[in-house]
Structures are given as structure tokens and as C-alpha cells.
């Protein structure tokens, strides 16, 4: 909104095709050119990621897998957003720094998930906000004793 982070040039028709409100389209008109509203793309991506993580809590995951899923999800989105953005740092004058960091984060998160899955003693994720099953209640009582 404050015109500090935006992507490459686009046409007004492209922005209108996204069904954006007029005030956002007008804000993306900078120095005579329309630009991608990458801040908006990232906000929507993050909201969808939040909903995905809330949904994934219902599955029998191991501790830390929700966080690792977040790392993968956010880094994947960040990789693609950086491809559209105009302000970036380069590594060696070729690779965008944020994209390299995103790839590294994805690889590390996937390796950690696989490693933790291979270990049978990794505890399961327990969310007190979700209803418990009979099996979870029994395990919880055993741990208290």
C-alpha cells in the first residue's frame, strides 16, 4: 500500500482481472506504470497457509511437523514471490538471495521431517484445543502416572 514492495510491471487490465478493489489498483500505479501487488499476494498466501496449518492440526503428526510444514509452505511461496519482485539482493550477481534461502529452508525442513519420521520415539503432536480420542486420553493418563 505504501509502494515500497512491488513486482514487475503489468497492465491495468491484468490487475482488474484479479478482481482487486479500485483503491489497490490505484495504489499500484507508480510513476506512470502499473505493478504487481506482491504485498497482497503474500498476504493472501500467508492467510491460506494459516488455514492449512489449522487444518493439519487434526492429523496425527509428530511434534515439530506443523512448524516444518510452515517452513516448507512459506518458503515455497516466498520463492515464487521473489521471482516477481523488483527489489532483491543477488548472490554472485546471478541468484536471488531470498530464493536461495527459500530452497535451503525447504530442503532442511524436508530432511528433518524424514529424519524424525524414521525415529520411532518422536512424540506425537498433541493439541489441547482439539477434542481427544479415547486412545489419546489413555496415553495422557499413562504419562501422568
78 Cβ contact partners less than 8 Å away, ≥ 6 residues apart? 42, 98, 99, 102
CA 15 to CA 28: how far, in whole Å?
9
Contact criterion met (CB below 8 Å) for 109 and 74: no
Phi, psi of 119 (to 5 degrees): -90, 120
Residue 38 falls within a domain, yes or no?
A: yes
The H helix count followed by the E strand count for the chain is 6, 5
Domain count, the chain: 1
* pLDDT tens-place string over residues 46-100: 999 999 999 988 887 888 889 999 999 999 999 998 888 877 777 777 788 889 9
Structural domain contains residue 23: yes
Does residue 141 fall inside a structural domain? no
- Specify whether the CB–CB gap between 116 and 64 falls below 8 A: yes
* 69, 53 Cβ separation under 8 angstroms: yes
Domain interval for residue 63 = 9-122
User: Does residue 144 register a pLDDT over 70?
Assistant: no
pLDDT of 7 strictly over 80:
yes
With cut-offs at 50, 70 and 90, classify the pLDDT of residue 4: low
What value does the mean pLDDT of the chain take?
A: 83
Query: Looking at the domain assignment, is residue 128 inside a domain?
Result: no
Residue 138 pLDDT more than 70?
no
pLDDT: which is higher, 87 or 36: 36
Residue 145 lies in a domain: no
Q: 45 near 81, Cβ under 8 Å?
A: yes
Q: How many CB atoms lie within 10 A of CB 108?
A: 14
**CA dist 124 → 54, 117, 129, 138 (Å):** 16, 10, 15, 14
Region of residue 19 (left: phi > 0; alpha: psi -120 to 50; beta: else) = left
Residue 109: inside a domain, yes or no? yes
Evaluate if residue 139 carries a pLDDT over 80.
no
pTM of the model: 0.75
Q: Is the pLDDT of residue 141 over 90?
A: no
Residue 138 lies in a domain: no
Amino acid at each position: 500500500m505504501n509502494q515500497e514492495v512491488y513486482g514487475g510491471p503489468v497492465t491495468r487490465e491484468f490487475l482488474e482481472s484479479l478482481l482487486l478493489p479500485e483503491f489497490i489498483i490505484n495504489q499500484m500505479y507508480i510513476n506512470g506504470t502499473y505493478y504487481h501487488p506482491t504485498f497482497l499476494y503474500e498476504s493472501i498466501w500467508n492467510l491460506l497457509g494459516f488455514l492449512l496449518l489449522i487444518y493439519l492440526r487434526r492429523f496425527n503428526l509428530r511434534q515439530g511437523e506443523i512448524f516444518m510444514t510452515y517452513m516448507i509452505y512459506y518458503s515455497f511461496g516466498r520463492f515464487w514471490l521473489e521471482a516477481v519482485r523488483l527489489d532483491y539482493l543477488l548472490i554472485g550477481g546471478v541468484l536471488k538471495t531470498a530464493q536461495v534461502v527459500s530452497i535451503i529452508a525447504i530442503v532442511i525442513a524436508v530432511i528433518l521431517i524424514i529424519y524424525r519420521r524414521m525415529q520411532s520415539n518422536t512424540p506425537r503432536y498433541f493439541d489441547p484445543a482439539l477434542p481427544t480420542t479415547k486412545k489419546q486420553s489413555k496415553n495422557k493418563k499413562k504419562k501422568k502416572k
